[in-house]
Amino acid sequence: MNDTNSEISVKINDYNIKMQVDTGSQVTIIPKNFWELMSKPKLQKCYLRLKQFDGTVIKVLGEFEATLETESKMNIVRIIVADCTKNHGLIGMDVLNINATKLVNSMEPLVHGRLINYKANILLKNGVQPTYFEARPLPIHIRPLVVDKLNGMIQQGLLQMVPPGGSRWASPLVVVRKIDGDLRICADYKIGVNQKICSDSYPIPNIETVFHKMAGMKYFAKIDLKGAYHQIEMDKEAQEITIVNTPIGLLRWTCLPFGIKTASAIFQRAIESVVGDIIPNMIIFQDDICVGAKNAEELKSNLNKILSKLKESGMSISKRKSVNETKSLSFLGYELSEKGVPQIVNNREATTVKAVLQSVFSRNGVPEVLVSDNAAEFHDTTLHQWLKKVGCVPYKTPPYHPQSNGAAERMVETVKMGLRAYSPDKGLLCGYLSRMLLSYRTIPHAGRSRSPSEMMGRQLRSPLTMSFESGTPLWYCQKPDSKPEPASFISQ
């Protein structure tokens, strides 16, 4: 035990005791004179062998259980009594671990947190007029789930009802199914609001250039903020602009919604204002916070500082998605360890994409145009040179707007709808998918009266076409009892 000028006052069994927080100590220790001051509570045998940092053995009298109370916490802890006389004791990692665990548990409430004394605003461009869009129809199978989700968000205070005719602004609802199966409620702001609001230039970190903060780190942790944008409150003007039109009427966001083009900049500014300057070995990227340290004790200390600040600011975390302590951490597509930050090996690379394209081109020929999203592997110079060599021009959809590739998006949506209708009684999934794709490729398109296979220059035989003579209208093959309607004909 070494004297220090850094001391705090705590209560042990209602006695005021001077203690020092020592992240290098695994246990909590008090000197013999403090134990005597506390009327010598009964000791039990201590089986631990304790040493100071220089290797000197600390002689102990025993241990006992006591209540240790700080300004904001009270825990039942084990306290070891050292056979020496000092003017302070040591609070070790056994107590700090308890506090860190309690902080994590207490910061995951049933509802989202809300950043205290912070309100986001959205600035309109000069001279713009409000836009109002009607609610879009939802698929029947998903409508009850969406209504339940909306009602739950109203009860949590994320949304508020707006009386009919109570706003000149309204954007249509967009529902996104998350990886865990839950629904994310958004709005389609790109068709109206996003065109009429000012951009926010607050910088979003370039994840590939900030990993220098993790240099030399051996222990890592990740904090995931629950609900992300929903922890940021908006002012009245912003709430009016972001009203969404839903199956249950107009709803007003009280918090920052997904889909607003300035949302990422607003959130990054907010979270950096809370914890951005607490420790140097930290990466803040939207709702994910990566914390590094050179040893486990330092990591726990850093986590305590960040979690305490987040809780003090009113924010909540997702315990399920957070990682308390690890020597290897997957963070935003990279594997962090003491060896460095190589990219995760199972991510797609340009060489893999090229191999897949070669296989596709061998079956269908080389297309004139290849439309892709903005994934990193499609920006590879080698891939572009190869595409140019084979006579294919690469095009990319606008960033964050995959809907621009309408043909691919429509095909994906059709396949998803078919897969949602799958059940185990329909056989193996791969067989069901093959039958579904055959039907899709041989049925005429509603807008062109030709099947996808015909549009590709081929005519696929199927049980449907083999049941009728050549020249029979397809509408008759599909519905023999229906009335005639314009359609293409079978040719075999």
Q: pLDDT of the chain along its 492 residues, tens only?
A: 444 445 678 888 878 888 887 766 778 899 999 998 888 888 988 888 888 777 788 899 999 888 787 765 667 788 999 999 888 888 877 776 555 555 455 444 444 678 888 899 999 999 999 999 998 888 888 888 999 999 988 988 899 998 877 889 999 998 887 766 778 888 888 888 998 999 888 888 887 678 888 888 889 999 988 888 889 999 999 999 999 999 888 999 999 998 898 999 999 999 999 888 888 889 999 889 999 999 888 888 888 888 888 888 888 888 778 888 888 888 877 788 888 765 544 445 667 888 888 888 887 788 888 888 767 677 777 888 889 888 998 887 765 555 555 666 677 778 888 888 888 788 888 888 888 888 888 877 766 677 777 777 777 777 666 555 555 555 555 555 555 555 444 444
Name the phi and psi angles at 349, rounded to 5.
-120, 165
Structure tokens that stand for 461 in this block: 């035989």
Instruction: Answer yes or no: are the C-beta atoms of 161 and 251 closer than 8 Å.
Output: yes
Q: Which residue has the tokens 């409000």?
A: 130
pLDDT at 475: 52
| C-alpha count within 13 angstroms, C-beta hemisphere, residue 46 | 22
Terminal Cα-to-Cα distance of the chain (whole angstroms) = 93
Element holding 150 (H helix, E strand): helix 143-155
370-378 long-range Cβ contacts below 8 angstroms, 24+ apart: 370/394, 370/395, 371/395, 371/396, 371/397, 371/405, 371/407, 371/408, 372/396, 372/397, 372/405, 373/397, 373/402, 373/405, 374/399, 375/348, 377/348, 377/349, 377/350, 377/352, 377/353, 378/350, 378/353
Element holding 173 (H helix, E strand): strand 171-177
R_g (Cα) of the chain, nearest Å: 31
The residue type found at 472 is T
The residue type found at 167 is S
Element holding 293 (H helix, E strand): strand 288-293
pLDDT at 341: 64
The contacts of residue 385 (CB under 8 Å, 6+ apart) are none
Distance of alpha carbon 251 from alpha carbon 160, whole angstroms: 5
The contacts of residue 428 (CB under 8 Å, 6+ apart) are none
Distance of alpha carbon 485 from alpha carbon 325, whole angstroms: 67
Distance of alpha carbon 443 from alpha carbon 312, whole angstroms: 60
Name the phi and psi angles at 47, rounded to 5.
-95, 5
* Total Cβ atoms within 10 A of residue 153: 20
pLDDT at 48: 83
Distance of alpha carbon 24 from alpha carbon 6, whole angstroms: 15
The contacts of residue 63 (CB under 8 Å, 6+ apart) are 43, 44, 45, 46, 78, 79, 80, 81
Could you tell me the sign of the dihedral formed by the alpha carbons of 377, 382, 384, 389, in that order? negative
DSSP state of 281: S
Structure tokens that stand for 384 in this block: 């572009």
Instruction: Answer yes or no: are the C-beta atoms of 461 and 470 closer than 8 Å.
Output: no
The residue type found at 288 is D
Element holding 240 (H helix, E strand): helix 236-241
The contacts of residue 139 (CB under 8 Å, 6+ apart) are none
Distance of alpha carbon 325 from alpha carbon 220, whole angstroms: 6
Distance of alpha carbon 489 from alpha carbon 93, whole angstroms: 79
Structure tokens that stand for 198 in this block: 């000012």
pLDDT at 251: 92
Name the phi and psi angles at 405, rounded to 5.
-90, 75
Name the phi and psi angles at 211, rounded to 5.
-70, -10
